[in-house]
Amino acid sequence: MNRLLSGLFWISLCLILAFITLPLLVVVAASLSPSSTVTFSPADWTMKWYAALWASKWLDPFILSAKIAVIVSLVSGVLGALGAYAIAYEKCPGSEAIMAFLLSPLAVPQIVKGVAIVIFLSSAGLYALLGTPGLIAAHIVLTLPFAARMIATSIYNFDKNLDRAAQILGASKWQRIRHVLLPLIKPGVFSGMTFAFIISFNNIPLSVFLVRPGQTTLPITVINYMEYSLDPVLAAVNVASLIFILATIFLFEKLGGFSAQIHGGSK
Amino acid sequence: MNDIDIELICVRKTYGNNLVVNDINLAIPKGEFVSLLGPSGCGKTTTLNMIAGFQEPTGGEIRIRGRNQAGVPPEKRNIGLVFQNYALFPHMTVAENVGFGLKMKGTPRAEIEQTVRTALKSVHLEGLEARYPKELSGGQQQRTALARAIAPRPSVLLLDEPLSNLDLKLREAMRVELKEIQQQLGMTFVYVTHDQEEAMAMSDRVVVMSGGVITQEDKPEHIYNAPRTSFVADFIGKSNIFAVSLRPAADDRQEIVINGSSIALAIAADQPKVATAKFCCIRPEDVRVVGNDVSAKDANVLDGTICKTVNLGAHLDLWIAVDRDIMIKALVRSSRSNQLKVGNPVSISIAPAAIRLLAE
């Protein structure tokens, strides 16, 4: 019986992994194919679509998206950590309600949110903010709840006895935050920032309302390009962004060590 | 040498209507090893937390080194605390953990290193400086926590059931070691525990608490030999406790009658006078099982039947029924287990001096 269950477990696990990764393999193959039809013969493979990416048509949106994602991730990390500290550590009045409120943006469709932000900015006369500043602000609104909740979770898991131990050893409040709390919730902060980065970098539904012509983010550029042509350069863009995101996750992991969350926080 | 390190004056703590600590008075001289002993919920941990400053007393005053501590936060009290779960910083090595207190005070690095080395040496942890807490055994974590608490040289060290997570062998070894460390450092130790053996083994003075008040405070041997209440007699060691009444006997002496029976026992003349004695306490090791050869000089001889025996290795626990409802526990050497079988009739003798009267 147990053997049957574990067999079923492994089979379903493999199926799920295949379902996730196989489409990616097709995209990779497509990005290497010489023509619009996807070929799987390595002899014919070409790097010309990747070479085509090295043009301002693709590079500018990539740089804009990366810039926005970095800012959004940093701001979400800092604001999220401050908010989570007030909510989860100091248990400020109404902390439960704020925590619940932080979930609410997840319940509003992003399209609705995008429209709302555009209407708000234009009716307030803030046309100057449409475009990149608006994009950054809108992305932060979207990612902050994720970051705050992740950091709050790591603060809830923080053993308050450690704070008391530091306190009785003579550490002031600031020293306790700096030397005990922050190092121990660092993995939570970095995983929150990673989420913010990925959500911002890949975002379409919010960005589509806020980009300015000539200043589009990478996903929006891809969408626009798709309206007129469907060639393997799109596959190459996707593979390139995938590699970029994986590299970012790897970098954040190195800095923050979220895997440390799994084995106790000391590496 | 009458320096008082910690003084509690009429300290009380209430949570809502719940009175947890009720007007405690206690003075702990410098360099003394004091145990706060009691069952869970007796207020001992609350008392410790108030000394540490994590909880403010509802009433009364706490003085450390003569100074009132009202409003002084824990980080300014300059005392050490060893936590029950050790509370080691998981992201720091053993050396960083032990040096933490000094680092926070801005001590120069070379001095920290020197002090950490000394502290680790005194708890026998040399060579583990670079390990992380999760790479240590329970006993090593315990020693690290101790080294961390003593490294900044506080004058007072509070210990909150520090040995309760260790296995028996280690716990017994650590008792001896803790006492040695305390004597070497000349530090005042306030040790909270529910384990009476621990308290007896290490303390200069045991403070027995129950229901938020101090029931008795005395040297360990006095607590054991001269408990003042039936709670203390029952909590510290094993004892036979009976509700009794006093009555005059021949030669101007007094004897006691165990309530609800006809058993009368002579008591020693020099027994401290307890005018309103309600209970008596007899330690099991003071109950002499004389078998069948009773001699005339044996006092307080009672006949009974063995109901139950428990072999404790070196000793044998006997439950002896001497009257319908009166059961007396006795402790004898287990070498006698051949003669003392369940169902055997035996005679026991209790020396009058071994019977202690209790007022409550």
Query: Does residue B82 contact residue B146 with C-beta atoms inside 8 Å?
Result: yes
User: Looking at the domain assignment, is residue B235 inside a domain?
Assistant: no
Residue among B90, B101, B104 minimizing CB distance to A266: B90
Q: Residue A196's pLDDT is what? A: 94
User: Looking at the domain assignment, is residue B237 inside a domain?
Assistant: no
3-state secondary structure of B161: coil
User: Looking at the domain assignment, is residue A36 inside a domain?
Assistant: yes
* B299 and B152, same domain (yes or no): no
Residues 6 or more apart whose CB falls under 8 angstroms from that of B57 comprise B11, B12, B13, B21, B50
Where is average pLDDT lowest: A58-72, B251-265, B268-282, B334-348?
B268-282
User: Looking at the domain assignment, is residue A164 inside a domain?
Assistant: yes
Q: What single letter denotes the amino acid at residue A132? A: T
* B190 and B339, same domain (yes or no): no
Chain-centroid distance, C-alpha B70: 28
Give me the sheet containing B254-258, strands edge to edge. B264-266, B254-258, B240-248, B279-282, B356-358
How far does the CA of residue A154 sit from the closest CA of chain B (Å)? 14
State the CATH number of the domain containing residue B128: 3.40.50.300
Count the helix, strand and coil residues of chain B and give each as a percent rounded to the nearest 5.
30, 35, 35
pLDDT digit string, tens, across residues B153-181: 998 999 999 988 888 888 888 899 899 99
Among B162, B156, B165, which Cα is nearest to B34's?
B156
How far is it, in rounded angstroms, from Cα B133 to Cα B96? Answer: 11
pLDDT at B301 over 60: yes
CB-CB neighbors (< 8 A) of A162 in chain B: 87, 89
Residues 6 or more apart whose CB falls under 8 angstroms from that of A165 comprise B81, B83, B87, B88, B89, B148
User: Looking at the domain assignment, is residue A15 inside a domain?
Assistant: no
Among A161, A162, A167, A169, the strongest candidate for a mutation testing the B interface, having the largest count of B CBs within 10 A, is A169
Mean pLDDT of B89-95: 94
3-state secondary structure of B5: strand
Residue among B91, B92, B105 minimizing CB distance to A170: B105
Average predicted confidence (pLDDT) for chain B: 88
CB-CB neighbors (< 8 A) of A160 in chain B: none
* B33 and B168, same domain (yes or no): yes
Q: What single letter denotes the amino acid at residue B163? A: L
Residues 6 or more apart whose CB falls under 8 angstroms from that of B259 comprise B242, B243, B244, B245
pLDDT band at A264 (very low <50, low <70, confident <90, very high): very low
- Total of domains in chain B: 2
| Residue contact A169–B100, C-beta within 8 A | yes
Query: Does residue A144 contact residue A197 with C-beta atoms inside 8 Å?
Result: no
pLDDT band at B101 (very low <50, low <70, confident <90, very high): very high
How far does the CA of residue A34 sit from the closest CA of chain B (Å)? 52
How far does the CA of residue A197 sit from the closest CA of chain B (Å)? 26
Residue among B88, B104, B149 minimizing CB distance to A175: B104
Q: What single letter denotes the amino acid at residue B349? A: S
How far does the CA of residue B181 sit from the closest CA of chain A (Å)? 19
Q: Could you identify the residue written with the tokens 């992201």?
A: B91
Q: Residue A266's pLDDT is what? A: 41
| Residue contact B80–A161, C-beta within 8 A | no
Query: Does residue B329 contact residue B309 with C-beta atoms inside 8 Å?
Result: no
Predicted-assembly ipTM surpassing the 0.95 threshold: no
* B19 and B142, same domain (yes or no): yes
CB-CB neighbors (< 8 A) of A264 in chain B: 90, 134
Residue among A159, A169, A263 minimizing CB distance to B152: A169
- A128-167 b/e with 16+ CB inside 10 Å = b? ebbbbebbbbbbbebbbbbbbbbbbbbbeebeeebbbbbb
User: Looking at the domain assignment, is residue A47 inside a domain?
Assistant: yes
| Residue contact A164–B104, C-beta within 8 A | no
CB-CB neighbors (< 8 A) of B134 in chain A: 263-264, 266
* B285 and B182, same domain (yes or no): no
Contact with chain B for residue A174, Cβ under 8 A: no
CB-CB neighbors (< 8 A) of B79 in chain A: 168
3-state secondary structure of A177: helix
C-alpha torsion angle, residues A100, A106, A110, A113 (rounded to 10): 0
- Total of domains in chain A: 1
* B178 and B266, same domain (yes or no): no
Give residue A113's domain range.
22-262
State the CATH number of the domain containing residue A246: 1.10.3720.10
Among B329, B311, B310, which Cα is nearest to B319's?
B329
Average predicted confidence (pLDDT) for chain A: 87
| Residue contact A170–B101, C-beta within 8 A | yes
pLDDT digit string, tens, across residues B15-44: 888 889 999 999 999 999 999 999 988 999
Residues 6 or more apart whose CB falls under 8 angstroms from that of B58 comprise B12, B13, B14
pLDDT > 70 fraction of chain A, expressed in percent and rounded: 96
User: Looking at the domain assignment, is residue A207 inside a domain?
Assistant: yes
How far is it, in rounded angstroms, from Cα A125 to Cα A62? Answer: 29
Contact with chain B for residue A185, Cβ under 8 A: no
Q: Could you identify the residue written with the tokens 């207190």?
A: B101
pLDDT band at A267 (very low <50, low <70, confident <90, very high): very low
User: Looking at the domain assignment, is residue B110 inside a domain?
Assistant: yes
CA angle B332, B337, B343 (to 5 degrees): 100
Q: Residue B273's pLDDT is what? A: 62
Contact with chain B for residue A172, Cβ under 8 A: yes
DSSP secondary structure, B215-260, as one string: EEEE-HHHHHHS-SSHHHHHHSS--EEEEEEEEE-GGG-EEEEETT
List C-alpha distances in Å: A68 to A135, A148, A193, B151, B255: 8, 19, 13, 49, 93
Among A190, A188, A183, which Cα is nearest to A252's?
A190
pLDDT digit string, tens, across residues A152-191: 999 999 999 999 999 999 999 999 999 999 999 999 999 9
Give residue B54's domain range.
4-230
β strands within A165-241, DSSP E: none
Comparison of pLDDT for B183 and B341, the residue scoring more: B183
pLDDT band at B1 (very low <50, low <70, confident <90, very high): very low
User: Looking at the domain assignment, is residue A4 inside a domain?
Assistant: no
Among B83, B67, B21, which Cα is nearest to B213's?
B21
Give me the sheet containing B33-37, strands edge to edge. B79-82, B156-160, B188-193, B33-37, B205-210, B213-218
